[in-house]
């Protein structure tokens, strides 16, 4: 059974999901994550300066970044940035264009045939809204991009979002909630949602 045929409530294949949806600062777990981020930043800096025709070198570094062999059918054009790496799961025939950023602490799954335009950002971690809590912990929730979905140039996908099979997010879209299969979404989503004190 492939990921794209799995039970949607099942854990993501190959993604070590967070033990909790919060990662508290000033803990041993946070120190381990910070160490991993430093290591992966070093690896991505090496990846991004390789000669473009060094496909074998790029494939080896990308596999080291994500902690498992990346399928041969996957294409990731540099520059490419990620903060953790171990939460990224590539399906077959995935294409990621230049300048993309995957903040994957909450998990990012890309189904078979997913296309991702340049300068797209997938963010699976966040900070609390209240200023008094922002430096205390981060929250994490997985992003799932199902088979044959297409994210146009400079799309931003926020934590916990699922983009359905065959769906399209138009260039510049900010995707804040789930997108049904075979659906086009476009435009920014910046509008007042909540108000809080302190």
Contact 142, 106 (CB under 8 A): yes
Residue 74, both tokens: 């996957």
Q: What is the SS3 assignment for the chain?
A: CCHHHCCCCCCCCCCCCCCCCEEECCCHHHHHHHHHHHHHHHHHHHHCCCCCCCHHHHHHHHHHHHCCCCCCCCEECCCEEECCCCCEEECCCCEECCCEEEECCCCEEECCCCEECCCCEEECEECCCCCCCCCCEEEECCEEECCCCEECCCCEECCCCEECCCCEECCCCEECCCECCCCEECCCCCCCCCCCCC
Spatial distance between the Cα atoms of 59 and 65, rounded to a whole number of angstroms:
10
Of 24, 84, 127, 195, the catalytic one is: 127
Query: In the annotation, is 127 catalytic?
Result: yes
Q: Which residues are catalytic?
A: 127
């Amino acid at each position: 059974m492939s990921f794209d045929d799995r039970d949607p409530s099942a854990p993501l294949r190959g993604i070590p999901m967070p033990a909790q949806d919060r990662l508290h600062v000033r803990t041993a777990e946070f120190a381990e994550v910070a160490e991993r981020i430093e290591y992966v930043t070093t690896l991505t800096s090496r990846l991004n300066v390789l000669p473009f025709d060094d496909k074998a070198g790029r494939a080896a570094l990308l596999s080291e970044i994500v902690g498992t062999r990346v399928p041969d059918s996957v294409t990731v054009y540099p520059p490419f940035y990620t903060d953790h790496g171990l939460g990224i799961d590539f399906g077959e025939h995935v294409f990621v264009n230049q300048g993309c950023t995957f903040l994957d602490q909450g998990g990012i799954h890309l189904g078979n045939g997913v296309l991702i335009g340049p300068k797209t950002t997938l963010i699976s971690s966040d900070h609390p809204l209240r200023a008094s809590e922002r430096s205390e912990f981060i929250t994490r929730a997985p992003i799932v991009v199902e088979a044959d979905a297409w994210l146009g140039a400079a799309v931003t996908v926020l934590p916990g979002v699922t983009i359905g099979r065959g769906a399209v997010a138009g260039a510049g879209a900010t995707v804040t909630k789930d997108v049904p299969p075979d659906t086009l979404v476009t435009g920014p989503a910046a509008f007042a949602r909540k108000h809080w004190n302190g």
